[in-house]
Amino acid sequence: MGPPLPSASPQLKALGAGVLRRRPVIRRAGRPLFPYVTMVRVSLWISVVVVAALFAWGAWQRRWIADDGLIVLRTVRNLLAGNGPVFNAGERVEANTSTAWTYLMYVGSWVGGPMRMEYVALALALTLSVLGVALLMLGAGRLYAPSLRGRRAIMLPAGALVYIALPPARDFATSGLESGLTLAYLGLLWWMMVCWAQPVRGRAEGRVFIGALAFVAGFSVLVRPDLALMGGLALIMMLIAARTWRRRVLIVVAGGFLPVAYEIFRMGYYGLLVPGTALAKDAAGDKWSQGMIYLSNFNGPYAVWVPVVLLLALGALLVVARRRPSFLRPALAPDYGRVARAVQSPPAVVAFVVVSGLLQGLYWIRQGGDFMHARVLLAPLFCLLAPVAVIPVPIPDGADYSRETGNWVAGAAAALWLGIAGWSLWAANSPGMGDDATHVTYSGIVDERRFYAQATGHAHPLTAADYLDYPRMAAVLTALDNTPDGALLLPSGNYIQWDLVPMLQPAPGDPNAPQKPQHAVFFTNLGMLGMNVGLDVRVIDQIGLANPLAQHTERLKHGRIGHDKNLFPDWVIADGPWVKLYPGIPGYLDVNWVAQAVAALKCPETQAVLSSVRAPMTLHRFVSNVVHSFEFTKYRIDRVPLYELARCGLPVPEAIPPPPRE
């Protein structure tokens, strides 16, 4: 045996004992590397639960289904009946903006069975709205996780409180529109992007997560076409940050397959590049002055600028008083390029959601806003509030800075938060647009929920039956029953009757004659009308949401926003199997305009557009529609028949003398 080893010195023994006492931290794969202390975790979840409960309760108190929400249900009825995703059987028009909401309602109605579609829409919209707010808060909580590692702090709702305090936000949490789905989508994308910016081994860096995030980002265009701005930006960020070409291929395939597949279907089935609603409302047009009016109409009743200023100050305070490593720096920086690290980082994700919100808001202001008070600016605001949906108020402990500085920071943050809470309490009880809420003034903007509540006499108009109390609605059922031989119904000046244009009786032996009497109704409010009549009744409008002719007219310069196309009823008479001479047509219409419209419909380009949506769907028709979808989308006709004849180079028919006066 060799000589004994020299004994260790007392200093080495103490150091060894210290090393032995420090047990290595063993993390399970996928565990978050930014553990909250109990106080932070509990306060975050309390905030989420309280805000979600308040939002659900507030939305339920203002529950309703809009006329536009009922438009979606008419399409769902046709899907369930086997007529395809159309508004009128035999005419392929995409009358809904949100493809995802249409098919979600289809699945929900199929699963719901005997439950009324309106109640399915109400339940889905409310659930998704609340889920969206919860995800927005959880994403913000995850954003601040690195700076709160091992620290005591209280998580308080801030931006989320501002959002749910706005009465329009609670109005459109139900409404039957895709607003709830939009909130859920934005909340999910925000939460996933924050997770992606703070990668955890086995979770945010895995193929499954990357593929899922790319799929969610690409799905944006199916939720709403304007959300493609946000989803596309997310995909670009992911491609820049990807480390391998295999990962980039995964992102492209997962993010692009479904949107591209549906776009090909849209081109072939509907013959358009965009939803029919985008064509009807000329989504590529601009009305800056009307957009500024719309922005002012949103800000005015609630002084939205107040919480914006307070939140900006609060955000600046959080940045100045942050702890290293902060939420502005990636806590786990992958070992690859500087640009990739910068893109896949919390500050880049914060910039992503803020810029996305600004771009969406700018788009809607350029487009002119909407006729529904505040509706289209809610999603942009939701994005802008994401980074401060919840905020941490650290409890001073003297570890990162002196207690005096800590007390000052905590006091300032608490004061700003109290200001936000005070504004929220005031805004939640705001009268909104006040006396102008239900009046269609020069701005064209109304509080849609209050408008229909007043017009129907129901505080919560939910079902199609509730809308039978809307002017003219009950009368349309009577008129249909009184015209067994078929007729076109035109709105008259009297709210309890309709003007009738009889159906032409086919000649004996005519092979092209309709199999049975036909009915059509020409009216603006497609939802309440379409849901209260049978699917065999053709329901069309002058705006173009369900009318392929009106879709292709030019936008009126000073028309009401969202309603700024107006096809004359002469075209409807000319386009169907209706009597086209006096006394069959109402006396206020010009028989020569009808004759000119009949001639104008023979324009080859117009016939091609109408055939794209009316001819039987075959493989040849599908391919032809795909090839010509671009020219069909940009095609426009003149709403004045005489001018349309001149545009198309067709001769003007001989004038028909007016009927003799009695």
3-state secondary structure (DSSP) of residue 372: strand
Q: How far apart are CA 26 and CA 164, in angstroms?
A: 41
Angle of CA points 103, 376, 190, to nearest 5°:
70
Res 632: pLDDT: 97
Q: Is 373 exposed, middle or buried (0-12, 13-18, 19+ CB in 10 A)?
A: buried
3-class SS of residue 98 = coil
For the residues 85-91, what does the mean pLDDT come to?
A: 96
CA distance 336 to 82: 53
Task: Return the pLDDT at 560.
Answer: 87
Q: Which residue has the tokens 């942050």?
A: 322
Cα 30 from Cα 199, distance rounded (Å): 10
Q: Are strands 498-502 and 487-491 parallel, antiparallel or unpaired?
A: antiparallel
**Other Cβ atoms within 10 Å of 162 Cβ, number:** 27
**What's the confidence (pLDDT) of residue 408?**
81
Contacts of 467 (CB under 8 A, 6+ apart): 67, 70, 452, 456, 461, 473, 527, 528, 531, 532
Distance CA 461, CA 389 (A): 32
CA–CA gap between residue 431 and residue 438 (Å, rounded): 12
As a whole number, mean pLDDT of residues 388-415 equals: 78
Q: Determine the Cα–Cα distance for residues 177 and 326; give it in Å rounded to an integer.
A: 39
Q: Cis omega before residue 471 (within 30°)?
A: no
Judge whether 573 and 567 are in contact, CB under 8 Å: no
Say which residue, 20 or 59, is predicted with more confidence. 59
Average pLDDT over residues 630-653: 96
* φ and ψ at residue 243, rounded to 5 degrees: -90, -20
Q: Residue 388 has what DSSP assignment?
A: G
pLDDT per residue over 211-244, tens digit each?
Answer: 999 999 999 999 999 999 999 999 999 999 998 9
Task: Give the model confidence (pLDDT) of 337-352 as tens digits.
Answer: 789 889 999 999 999 9
283-307 b/e (C-beta count within 10 Å ≥ 16 → b): eeeebeebbebbbebbeebbebebb
pLDDT of residue 29: 42
The pTM (predicted TM-score) of the whole model is: 0.91
With a cut of 70, say whether residue 628 has pLDDT above it.
yes
Work out the average pLDDT over 89-117: 95
As given in the structure block, the two tokens for residue 121 are 């829409």
Residue 209's pLDDT is what? 94
Q: Using an 8 Å Cβ cutoff, are 400 and 323 in contact?
A: yes
Q: Find out whether 267 and 273 touch, Cβ atoms under 8 Å.
A: yes
**Dihedral Cα 452, 457, 463, 469, nearest 10 deg:** -100
How far is residue 19's CA from residue 24's CA, in Å, rounded to a whole number? 10
Residue with the larger pLDDT of the pair 265 and 405: 265
Sign of CA dihedral 231, 234, 240, 241: negative
Q: Are 546 and 88 in contact (CB under 8 A)?
A: yes
Better-scored residue on pLDDT, 100 or 335: 100
User: Given pLDDT bands bounded at 50, 70 and 90, which one contains residue 401?
Assistant: low
Total residues belonging to the chain: 662
Closest CA to 417 of 389, 436, 396, 443: 389
Asked whether residue 331 carries a pLDDT value surpassing 50, the answer given is no
Task: Calculate the alpha carbon distances from 565 to 9, 64, 547 in Å.
Answer: 93, 27, 11
In tens, the pLDDT along 424-452 reads 999 999 999 988 889 888 889 999 999 99
User: Residue 498: what are its φ and ψ, rounded to 5°?
Assistant: -125, 150
Cβ-contact 313, 409 below 8 angstroms: no
Whether the Cβ atoms of residue 330 and residue 418 lie closer than 8 Å to each other: no
Spatial neighbors of 548 by CB under 8 A, at least 6 apart, are: 91, 93, 276, 609, 610, 613, 614
Whether residue 166 contacts residue 299, with contact meaning beta carbons closer than 8 Å, is answered with no
pLDDT at 332 (0 to 100): 44
DSSP class of residue 538 equals E
Domain boundaries along the sequence of the chain: 38-329+338-429, 586-661
Q: pLDDT band for position 1 (50/70/90)?
A: very low
DSSP labels, 153-219: EEEEE-HHHHHHHSHHHHHTTSBTSTHHHHHHHHHHHHHHHHHHHS--TTTTTSHHHHHHHHHHHHT
> What's residue 494's pLDDT?
87
Instruction: Please report, rounded to a whole number, the percentage of residues in the chain having pLDDT higher than 90.
Output: 74
CA-wise closest residue to 132 among 216, 74, 65, 188: 188
* φ, ψ for residue 643, nearest 5 deg: -70, -35
Mean pLDDT of 478-501: 94
Mean pLDDT of 543-566: 91
- Is residue 19 over pLDDT 80? no
**Average pLDDT of the residues in 72-90:** 96
Q: Which residues contact 367 (CB under 8 A, 6 or more apart)?
A: 283, 285, 286, 287, 291
- Mean pLDDT value of segment 634-646: 96
Distances, alpha carbon 249 to alpha carbons 97, 210, 233, 345, in Å: 29, 11, 17, 22
Inform me whether the pLDDT recorded for 612 exceeds 80. yes
**Residue 67: pLDDT over 90:** yes
Cross-strand bridge partners of residue 393: 154
542-562 burial code (b ≥16 CB/10 A, e <16): bbbbbbbbbbbbebeeebbbb
CB 246 within 8 A of CB 208: no
> Which stretch of 82-96, 141-155, 272-286 has the lowest confidence by average pLDDT?
141-155
Distance CA 473, CA 489 (A): 12
* Structure tokens belonging to residue 413: 């943050």
3-state secondary structure of 403: helix
pLDDT bracket for residue 203 (50, 70, 90): low
pLDDT at 210 over 70: yes
pLDDT at 262 over 60: yes
- Is 87 in contact with 475 (CB distance < 8 Å)? no
Whether the per-residue pLDDT at 31 is higher than 50: the answer is no
For all residues of the chain together, what is the average pLDDT? 89
| Res 205: pLDDT | 63
Token readout for 566 is: 């107006």
How confident is residue 561, by pLDDT bands cut at 50, 70 and 90? confident
User: At 489, which helix (H) or strand (E)?
Assistant: strand 487-491
